[in-house]
Amino acid sequence: MTAYSINNTFAVDADASQLILWPEQAHLFDREKAFLIAGSGSNLLFVDSCFDGQVILSGNQTFRLSETSEHYVVELGAGLNWHQTIIRLLDLGIYGLENLALIPGTVGAAPVQNIGAYGVEFSDFCYQVDVIDLSATEKQTSCDGTAFTLSNEECQFGYRDSVFKHKLKQRYLIHQVTLHLTKNWQANLNYAPLNQLNLDASAKQIFDLVCQVRTQKLPDPNEIPNAGSFFKNPIISTAEAEKLKQSDPNLPVYPILDSDQVKVAAGYLIDKTGLKGFQLGQAAIHDKQALVIVNNAKADGKQIAELAKYVRLQVFQQYGIWLEPEVRFIRAQGEVDAVAFLDALDY
């Protein structure tokens, strides 16, 4: 049987039995068979080197603009490249997304983990998300999946989280998103190093600085395969953080508005365990950015997972905090809970 290679920025081998571009090749879709929805694979780890089923990719390249008195209304197809879309909007004088520049991936994946960077999240601009329920009918093959729309509230956005990671996981193909970008744009310079810019900085200046900083800080997946931040920043109680700060006064913590919890910088925790540059097989902790696991040569997904398990253990032993992967783990049968997978992994 022919195997199709699934793109992923970890550059690990990952085969599927079928790749289907939706809606162009929807007639090939077989609802009776397993399927995985993917974008450009920048947040996926294929731990079995394959997915035994069909991989669905959005081919929707819609780019439509309209406006109200207050907003630009931007309808974007899920198959568009996120970064290129930001450039296109900037060129049209439509601002707001510049802090999210250079995040790899597609527009369709942006709501799934509510992508965020430099004090801004996708949910800040999302008006609605159009989805197609791929399991909607009992028909064996069909291209008329049931479509419906979710409001911002219905998407249940949180920190790297949304309803698409829970109730609507791996069943609903995001087909299109609608953003509201205010005409009364104001720079968001709250987050370092953007706070070094003048208060009257333009969106283009912010975009340029974000690109510059990200290029310096993060390895380019085209040169050194990786999936960006491997772990989420853990959220702990303020009391727990106070206790940790007694033994490590430099521990970076970020208060969470209206709560008695704080976010801790996962990269700092890993760095403090001395793991920067640490290599296990062909997988390694990046030598400049401890939050990033890289594939140095021919690591497979399992080796990368083994290193992730080791990192979790080291951080737990030093800080009593279990890190949780931000990256999604895909086995031959489909997505699995990453923490449960790592707990059960022998190495």
Ligand X SMILES: Cc1cc2nc3c(=O)[nH]c(=O)nc-3n(C[C@H](O)[C@H](O)[C@H](O)COP(=O)(O)OP(=O)(O)OC[C@H]3O[C@@H](n4cnc5c(N)ncnc54)[C@H](O)[C@@H]3O)c2cc1C
What amino acid positions are annotated as catalytic residues?
A: 160, 229, 326
**What residues form DSSP beta bridges with 283?**
280, 295
Structure token pair of residue 32: 């009776």
Minimum CB separation from ligand X for residue 306, in Å? Answer: 20
- In the complex with ligand X, the residue whose CB is nearer, 38 or 50, is 38
Q: Which of 235, 227, 346 is nearest to 294 (CA)?
A: 227
DSSP 266: H
Show the binding pattern over residues 148-167: x = contacts ligand X (CB under 6 A), - = does not. Answer: ----------------x---
| Segment lying near ligand X (by CB under 6 A), choices 64-72, 102-110, 185-193, 278-286 | 102-110
Task: Say if strands 15-22 and 50-58 run parallel, antiparallel, or are unpaired.
Answer: parallel
- Which 9-48 positions form the footprint of ligand X (CB under 6 A)? 9, 37-44
Nearest to 202 by CA among 192, 188, 181: 188
* 312, 298 Cβ separation under 8 angstroms: no
**6 scored as a contact of ligand X (CB under 6 A):** no
Query: Which residue in 20, 50, 78, 266 binds ligand X (CB under 6 A)?
Result: 78
Choice from 26, 55, 109, 299 touching ligand X (CB under 6 A): 109
- Quick one: which of 206, 213, 238 has its CA closest to 98? 206
Task: Please say which residue, 9 or 178, places its beta carbon nearer to ligand X.
Answer: 9
Q: Is 116 in the site for ligand X (CB under 6 A)?
A: yes
CB nearer to ligand X: pick between 39 and 244: 39
Among 117, 147, 265, 336, binds ligand X (CB under 6 A): 117
Q: How far is the CB of 119 from ligand X (least distance, A)?
A: 12
Nearer to ligand X by Cβ, of 94 and 108: the residue is 108
Q: Of 12, 16, 86, 110, which lies in the binding site for ligand X, with binding defined by CB under 6 A? A: 110
Please give the torsion angle defined by the CA atoms of residues 277, 10, 121 and 183, in that order, rounded to the nearest 10 degrees.
Answer: 120
Cβ nearer to ligand X, comparing 23 with 316: 23
Q: What is the rounded distance in angstroms from the CA atom of residue 277 to the CA atom of residue 288? A: 8
Binders of ligand X among 201-240, rule CB under 6 A? 218, 221, 226-228
Measured CA to CA, the distance from residue 294 to residue 287 in angstroms comes to: 10
Other beta carbons within 10 Å of 260: 10
Cβ-contact 72, 184 below 8 angstroms: no
- The Cα–Cα gap between 125 and 74 comes to 10
Query: Rule CB under 6 A: is residue 145 a binding residue for ligand X?
Result: no
Compute CA distances 41 → 46, 57, 344, whole Å.
10, 10, 24
Which span (110-118, 193-201, 256-264, 266-274) binds ligand X, by CB under 6 A?
110-118
Contact pick of 174, 203, 307, 315 for ligand X (by CB under 6 A)? 174
Query: Binder to ligand X among 74, 103, 264, 283 (CB under 6 A)?
Result: 103
Of residues 16, 45, 51, 105, which one binds ligand X by CB under 6 A? 105
What token pair was written down for 182?
């205010």
Q: Tell me, what DSSP letter sits at residue 196? A: G
Chain positions contacting ligand X, by CB under 6 A? 9, 37-44, 58, 78, 103-106, 108-110, 112-113, 115-117, 164, 173-174, 218, 221, 226-228, 328
